[in-house]
Structure 1
Amino acid sequence: MTTSIEPELVRRAAVGDPTAVSALLTDVRPGLVRYCRARLGRVGGAYTTADDIAQEVCLAVLKALPRYREQGKPFSAFVFAVAAHKVADAQRAAVRDSAVTMTDTPLERPDAAPGPEQQAVATDLARRLSVLLQRLPDVQREIITLRVAVGLTAEEVGTILGMSAAAVRVAQSRALARLRTLAGSGLDEVAA
């Protein structure tokens, strides 16, 4: 998703134009999925939960769209604000519902997914990276997520966060330097 969503497209979608709504969701959804995956990570080797949250964000945006009013910020700032709230809700729910449910249904065909060892390594790496990211200030964490995971430009992130592109680049540089310091020689120093 880019911050250059046409205001006219948003206006048409807000009044219920089905073509505009479809085009708007087509533009918004890929960035939302990347954002949610970056913030929530994988569970059991899959991004199912993050993808579900991205879908919830799309539904929340659609529900709020008729009441959306231009307030001097791009539409993407509104979308990512909704996403940040949904991600926070999902994280709180995950802490509350940390019970593990096992399914022992046999597979009918060979599983092409990574094996247990690869899943464990990937999950451990994701957990370690998540721990590192949590040690950054909120703004730096958002900048890294939006720039690296979602792929937005410094200008787009600046518009969303109300910063200049130069300030975003400086904050990103500081965040990456802090991550390098925290990581030390690899990710071995991150507490398990």
Structure 2
Amino acid sequence: MSTEEHRIQAAIAGRRDATESLLAELLPRVRSFVRYSVHGDSEVDDITQEALIAILRGLPTYRGEGAFASWANRVVARVTFAASKRARTERCQVDDESVELTSVPSEEALPDDCLMHREVVELLEQLSDEQRRALLLHYVMGMSIPEMAEALEVPFETVRSRLRTGKAHLREILFRES
């Protein structure tokens, strides 16, 4: 049994140290994915927490057939997209108020990091939700196209199309701005 499998089993058994270790390892990756997936930073912490809780609750269902990180990525994607859908529905019901992008840098972040984060978010905000999600799942979370198709619940070719059009749209935006 690998160290990761041992830690997962210990977390399932309720060992606090194993659970904390697992969550500490997952937190930066989960938070980054959520930050780039949702419009605005106001809900990032809530959705991140919701995703980590979903991972913990789902641990007993992890069968160990694939990489744990891939399984966790699918859980995070599902939670993030569901939260994004809820927020979109609420925005439509309330008054089409615009969500302003705010960024709360970490204590370790350099000024250039904050500026680059803001520029990346602004670029991603110009893509459709479908294109942004596809690019994030593939390039940030490292998911394969079949894994993405499963997580997004769309056909394989749809995922490929969203990746292709998302990259093309980003190139077009960057070309226009330069």
Question: For this structure pair, what is the TM-score category when the shorter chain's length is used for normalisation?
Answer: 0.5 to 0.7
1:135-175, CA deviations, whole angstroms, 9 ceiling, x for partnerless residues? 638644421343xxxxxxxxx5459948xxxxxxxxx8996
Structure 1 residue aligned with 2:20: 22
Written as runs of structure 1 = structure 2, the 5 A alignment for 1:97-136 is: 97-98=90-91, 99=94, 126=121, 129-132=124-127, 134=129, 136=131
Written as runs of structure 1 = structure 2, the 5 A alignment for 1:1-192 is: 6-42=4-40, 47-70=41-64, 72-98=65-91, 99=94, 126=121, 129-132=124-127, 134=129, 136=131, 139-146=134-141, 157-158=143-144, 161=147, 176=167, 178-186=169-177
**Deviation larger for 77-86 or 5-14:** 5-14
1:81-103, CA deviations, whole angstroms, 9 ceiling, x for partnerless residues? 11111111111111221136x9x
Give the partner amino acid of 1:65.
L
Higher relative contact order (CA 8 A, sep 6+): 1
Q: Cα–Cα, structure 1 residues 125 and 137, in superposed 2: closer, same or farther, change >3 Å?
A: closer
1:13-49, CA deviations, whole angstroms, 9 ceiling, x for partnerless residues? 122221111100110111111110010142xxxx230
SS of equivalent residue, structure 2 residue 43 = helix
1:88-139, CA deviations, whole angstroms, 9 ceiling, x for partnerless residues? 1111111221136x9xxxxxxxxxx8xxxxxxxx989845522326463864
Q: Cα–Cα, structure 1 residues 38 and 58, in superposed 2: closer, same or farther, change >3 Å?
A: same
The size of the alignment, in residue pairs, is: 143
TM-score, with structure 1 as normaliser: 0.58
TM-score, with structure 2 as normaliser: 0.62
Q: Any gaps of 5 or more consecutive residues in structure 2?
A: 98-103, 105-116, 149-162
Q: Cα–Cα, structure 1 residues 129 and 175, in superposed 2: closer, same or farther, change >3 Å?
A: closer
Q: Cα–Cα, structure 1 residues 179 and 135, in superposed 2: closer, same or farther, change >3 Å?
A: farther
Give the conservation status (yes or no) of the 8 Å contact 1:32–1:54. yes
Alignment partners' CA distance in 2, 1:5 and 1:84: 25
Give the conservation status (yes or no) of the 8 Å contact 1:5–1:75. no
Give the partner amino acid of 1:94.
A
Q: Cα–Cα, structure 1 residues 125 and 17, in superposed 2: closer, same or farther, change >3 Å?
A: closer
Q: Cα–Cα, structure 1 residues 14 and 90, in superposed 2: closer, same or farther, change >3 Å?
A: same
Higher helix share: 2
Give the partner amino acid of 1:73.
G
CA radius of gyration, larger in:
1
- Two-structure CA RMSD over aligned residues (Å): 3.8
Q: Any gaps of 5 or more consecutive residues in structure 1?
A: 103-112, 114-121, 147-155, 163-171, 188-192
